[in-house]
Amino acid sequence: MSNPVILISGASQGIGAAIARVFAAEVPGARLALVARNGKNLAAVARVCAKLGATAEVFPCDVSDEDSVAAMAAAVTKRSGGVDVLINNAGVFAGAPFAETKVAEFDRIVAVNLRSAFLVTRLFLPAMLRRKRGDIFFMSSIAGRAAYPNGAAYCAAKFGVTGLAAVLRAETKGTGLRVCCVHPGATWSPSWAQSGVAAGRMMPAADVARAFLDVYRLSRRTVVEEIVLRPQGGDV
């Protein structure tokens, strides 16, 4: 596809910023719509992507808020005419024992990881179905495949993302859309800075980002339904 429009949520840092950079560098004519709450960080990512050869525009947005998402989608559609590749990457992590997890914290983690993917996808999906073409990625986690202690909110959210992707894939089979759910293990990003886990035990964000690009580049006759990525040691 020439000059594809690629929307990346959570693009202000970490894996989202890495995805933006790899698509900017390797997809000729890429037009990036970078979405996150932090406009300053988004602008910095956009400048890097522009130097790599892409057109990059920023759309500050709280993707867990319905009104904010509606305004963002309208702005993206007005500027770009539609989205060809939708990457639902926005997320947040926090851990606590089940009995100590506050209701407000549970709601926040589910909203940012799961509700956001639903809100964003439902607004761009109809146009993709009309065009009979599009790629939709959901960022789940290994926490969306196997539960672990102190992960009540995060695991619930990521299991939800995995299920949401599966439902959409079942509903859009044969329409020309491809739906892929990505399950990374521990990946170095600013959110892990205070975790106590050494960066060398984690995957680099650039490797996870490249997996998205490689899946996108496959022939339209092939869909990668799910992909699991883990650090070499496999213990984080």
212: amino acid identity, one letter: F
Quote the tokens at residue 164. Answer: 């949401």
Let me know: does 186 contact 200? Beta carbons within 8 Å.
no
Question: Does 216 qualify as catalytic in the annotation?
Answer: no
- The secondary structure of 109-127, three-state, reads HHHHHHHHHHHHHHHHHHH
Strand partners, 150: none
Q: Cα(88)–Cα(232) distance, rounded to whole angstroms? A: 25
Q: Cα(183)–Cα(16) distance, rounded to whole angstroms? A: 14
Closest alpha carbon to 64 in 15, 119, 101, 26? 119
Q: Cα(116)–Cα(100) distance, rounded to whole angstroms? A: 25
Closest alpha carbon to 155 in 140, 171, 174, 168? 140
- Which one of 23, 137, 138, 154 is the catalytic residue? 154
Q: Cα(151)–Cα(155) distance, rounded to whole angstroms? A: 5
The catalytic site residues sit at 154
